[in-house]
Copies of this chain bind each other. A is one copy, B any other.
Amino acid sequence: MSKLRVQAFGLSVDGYGAGPNQSLENPLGVGGLAMFEWIFATRTAAQRMLRTEGGETGIDDDFAARSFANVGAWILGRNMFGPVRGPWPDESWRGWWGDDPPYHTPVFVLTHHPRRPLTMQGGTTFHFVTDGIESALRQAREAAGGQDVRVGGGVSTVRQYLQGRLIDEVHVAIAPVVLGSGEALFSGIDLLKLGYRCTGHTPTARATHVLLTRHG
């Protein structure tokens, strides 16, 4: 059964999934990048995200690798695709990631403003979905061909899918970071009532990996 998964999502000690003042320079908000030190140190990140040699193996790397495994399609909120707001002025913005984004699958981008699909190198195609999160999920499941669908973020997108009881599994990595303000990940969402339980807890020197799984 194809699952909808959130993976390798950073969470600060004070509960934020992104810092304040997101911008072109700080896509994760001020300080937000510090939540991901654990993953940038891994071999998986070196290979898949940073295109460098090296990187560490171990628990953090296992979680990094698992976050990409068996993912047949992604869903992203529009702000995770780029900083452009409102109607697309043209088609020049092609994502944060250059010509060969790290997805290598179809990616469904939630937006209110239509745009033609955008085919990148390496198997990534961005599809722009204007009719809501359930439609995006339906399309992503179909594109995933039996594999899982990963919700990449941002915080607002994860929250919408959580509140819709659509996410099967959440992996958050709680980092030793205080952000002070920004986008709170779980604030005001009753995870218990939505059916989530804590089903895994694996701490490392850089982060505490927590799994939440929905039952019923």
Contacts from A to B (Cβ < 8 Å): 11, 13-15, 31, 172, 174, 176-181, 184, 186-187, 189-194, 196-198, 200-201, 203-205, 208, 210, 212
Q: Are B191 and A178 in contact (CB under 8 A)?
A: yes
- Oligomer copy total: 2
Q: Are A14 and B180 in contact (CB under 8 A)?
A: no
Q: Are A178 and B203 in contact (CB under 8 A)?
A: no
With known contacts A187-B184, A187-B187, A13–B210 Cβ distance under 8 A: yes
Interface secondary structure of A, over-half rule: loop
Measured between beta carbons, the chain B residues less than 8 angstroms from A172 are 13
Q: Are B192 and A176 in contact (CB under 8 A)?
A: no
16 interchain pairs (CB within 8 A)?
A13-B186, A13-B210, A14-B186, A14-B191, A176-B210, A177-B198, A178-B191, A178-B212, A180-B191, A180-B192, A180-B194, A181-B190, A181-B192, A203-B203, A203-B204, A203-B205
8 shortest interchain CB distances as A-B pairs: A180-B192, A203-B203, A176-B201, A14-B186, A15-B15, A208-B208, A180-B190, A176-B198
